[in-house]
Structure 1
Amino acid sequence: MEDKSIKIVYLYHSGFVVETQNHFLVFDYFNDTPNNSARSLSNGVVSPSDFPVDKQILVFVTHQHRDHFNPIIFNWDKNHSNIKYILSSDIELGEYKNNYFQLDKYETLKINNVEISTFGSTDLGVSYLVSVDGVTIFHGGDLNWWHWKEFSREQQLKEELDFKAEVNKLIGKKIDIAFIPVDPRLEELYYLAGEYFINVIKPKLLIPIHFADNCNITKVFAEKINDNKKVAIIERRGQIIEYTI
């Protein structure tokens, strides 16, 4: 991998690996069952054997919901001491006591040369802004414009205002890669969060998240935005997305 090339691997739902020059980042890992019998990144799962020995490993969890967090991640440091866990404050650690930082929203953390800032969510936990090896990454977790049809008009308006208020805190940040929910359960309004984020924050690349098995929604969203250079189309678990700084 060239120094200025970022390798992104789609795991499942909101889970991704982002590999930079000196770091190996994992976000919101939960589905530990591979596409087939082979356990590998190419089948959408992380195994300790995947961790590069010469890079700092950072594992991020935005919140405790089971589709964003699997406690199996705490087994990864048994053979790799070069792991740090960055967790939202709502995560219950149980007996785990090593190598972790817990953050609430609007906090900052520096790990060597990696700068981490937390922002809020429109559900549980936090969202992360991470500056690492010359690239700035935003992972929204459950920060979404939750326009549910069954909500009252007042509830729908509150969801809209809460989402926009949180995203607007990022105005002025130069974000290279943004992971933003494009949730098909919201039916025809699945696109609201992603479209608003692109229009207001203008990331260089938006990668849809929070769509479970419905990868096709990423293609539908990209076509709606009408700029495939700005939106990644995801077709399968283990898919690699290359980004050049």
Structure 2
Amino acid sequence: MKIKITYIFHNCFVLDVGKLSIVFDIPAQRFRMSRARSALEEAVCGRDVVIFFSHSHLDHFAPDYMDVCGGANSVKAVLSDDIEEMYPDIFFENALVVEPDQKYVFENLKIETLMSNDLGVAFMIETVEGVKIYNGGDLACWDWESSSEADQKFTRDFFDKAADRIAGFGSHIVFSNVDRRLESLAGGPFLIEAVKPQFFIPTHALGRTEWLEGVHERLGIESHKCFSYRRAGDVASFDILLSGA
């Protein structure tokens, strides 16, 4: 099945699957340069959109998301419950509020959540066509050298268990944080080895994307299976082989 992906900024991407556009973690205005907003508006224009927000940090959540996606044909949202708690004055219309380690069905999407080791949740999503997508939000292997050995072990064990669930889900497409400040790249290579996705999208670059050129080699994945974007609006198209197809 043909899939199209558009990079917007940081952890924000638009994934076109059939007639649906799945959008992840639109950031707040302070993180959106005009180019990023324009790329997002163009990507969702006239589309039926479901936005997934992993948590309330402003590099992942835009309180004005309905305005930003105003050109879409329809807009629904899936939000981690910490967002509802953080923004009690916002009326989340056409939205599903989710908790960690639960299962839901929303807009013909099957959704499983994982507890993050940062804030909020990670998502495992299955579309009506059978495309399986993992988006980690800020769930990653944050094994900072400055942390104690006990904390590093806890982090790695937590991420190992999450990787087992993601692998068991059978994710075709994986979005996961890849942080150059960490020798482990925040667990990107480990997750790829465990899950063996058909396509991998490194996230959490905060706009510093130059270093992603050639990052597939450090991740241990072929270049055509890794989205090495550079600027807002960069697009990749790829085919996903579905079981039984």
Q: How far does the alpha carbon of each residue in 1:156-210 deviate from its partner, in whole angstroms, 9 at most, with x for none?
A: 1111111111221223222111001001232xx1525111111111111111001
Q: Structure 1 residues 141, 181: closer, same or farther in 2, change over 3 A? A: same
Q: Which residue is equivalent to 1:129?
A: 124
- In the superposition, the TM-score normalised over structure 2's length comes to 0.86
CA distance in 1, matches of 2:184, 2:154: 17
Q: Which has the higher helix share?
A: 2
Unaligned runs of 5+ in 1: none
The equivalent of 1:51 in structure 2 is: 44
Looking at structure 2, the residues matched to 169 and 135 of structure 1 have their Cα atoms a distance apart, in angstroms, of 17
| Match of residue 38 from structure 2 | 40
Aligned-partner residue type, residue 6 of structure 2: V
Query: What is the letter of the counterpart of residue 204 of structure 1?
Result: Q
Identify the residue that residue 163 of structure 2 maps to in structure 1: 167
Do the aligned partners of 1:74 and 1:96 also contact (CA within 8 Å) in 2?
Answer: no
Q: Is the 8 A contact 2:124 2:166 kept in 1?
A: no
Q: Deviations over 1:91-122 (max 9, x none)?
A: 03323241111101111221242211111211
Identity %: 28
Equivalent residue in structure 1 for 2:213, among 194, 205, 219: 219
Distance 2:174 2:120 in 1: 17
Moved more, 72-81 or 90-99: 72-81
Rate the CA distance shift 1:226–1:22 in 2: closer, same or farther, 3 A. closer
Query: Aligned to 1:171, what secondary structure does the other structure show?
Result: helix
For 1:183, the equivalent position in structure 2 comes to 179
Deviation at 1:238, TM superposition (A): 1.2
> Which of 12, 15, 18 lines up with 1:18 in the alignment?
15
Q: Equivalent residue for 1:67?
A: 59
Alignment match, 1:228: 223
Whole-angstrom distance in 1 between the partners of 2:2 and 2:48:
17
Determine if the alignment matches structure 1 residue 208 to structure 2 residue 206: no
Tell whether 2:104 aligns with 1:109: yes
Paired residues in the alignment total: 232
Alpha-carbon distance, 1:66 to partner: 1.4
SS in structure 1 opposite 2:34? coil
- Opposite residue 12 of structure 2, the aligned amino acid is G
Conserved 8 A contact 2:122-2:136: yes
Q: Which amino acid aligns with 1:229?
A: H
